[in-house]
Amino acid sequence: MAIKKGLASLQGYNKELLDAAAERNRPKADWFKWDNKTEVYMNFLQELDPDSDNYDEAQGLGVVAIEHFSVQEDFRKKRHALCTAESQGACWACDQHRNDRKAGWGPKSSLYITVAYAFSEDEKPKRGVLTRNFNSSFGQDVLAEAVDENTIVGRTYKVRKSGAGTTTAWSLKPSKTFQMDTSGLEAYDLENTVLREIAVDQQPAFYGYAQDGGEIGVSVAPTESTQEKPPAANDEW
């Protein structure tokens, strides 16, 4: 409605404006992208555990997030938010999943971690957030490396991509010949850049649905700026 009347309406509208401003001012992160390459040198800038050998509090931790991704065509892959079943005691996306197990609303676990990467030994390393299905072979390899070596920070890996589409696999191997210089590259604060928790009553609109969740209706115009999209590398679900 173009006219807001009454204090409740004005306060609600005010909150919408504040939320929108907070969203715009949210720090942004760059993503790790393959750029059509299939081999990359990579250093993790974050450990997975504070007890790991090279944990640095200032760099924080890589995390696994339990999330839902919108199944609305315009929002697919762009809109993803943390499952709130535990934190808020309710989760709209989980409800959708219970109503229709085949609709694609099931929770997904994704590894998020800041990496430095370069496609050749001469290239200046770039910083980006890597995201990958935690249940993928790559997710499991990173976990195994962190457990076996008690660190994943401070060594350079060679990561190779093979296959295509949903059968894409990434392999992880320590490089025997190359050590990347990552000095000065700071990890992202993942929880305040790429992850977000949405209040349960805001979730239908966030995921691109009408408030009642029944009839599908786009209630928010899809914009790239509303949320950065994880790169297309987010396959192998």
- Smallest distance, Å, CB 66 to Zn ion? 7
Buried b (16+ CB within 10 A) or exposed e, 94-124: bebbeeeeeebbbbbebbbbbbbbbbeeeee
Tokens of 85: 């079943």
Residue closer to Zn ion (CB basis): 83 or 180: 83
Binding pattern to Zn ion, positions 66-105, x when CB under 5 A? -----------------x-x-----x-xx-----------
Nearest to Zn ion of 106, 222 (CB atom):
106
Counting beta carbons within 10 angstroms of the beta carbon of residue 70, is it exposed (0 to 12), middle (13 to 18) or buried (19 or more)? buried
Least Å from the CB of residue 80 to Zn ion? 11
Q: Tell me the number of residues near Zn ion by CB under 5 A.
A: 5
Shorter beta-carbon distance to Zn ion: residue 88 or 168: 88
Residue 67 is inside which H or E element, if any?
strand 63-69
In the complex, the smallest distance separating the C-beta of residue 57 from Zn ion, rounded to whole angstroms, is 30
Token pair 């920070």 is at which residue? 153
Smallest gap from Cβ 89 to Zn ion, in A, equals: 11
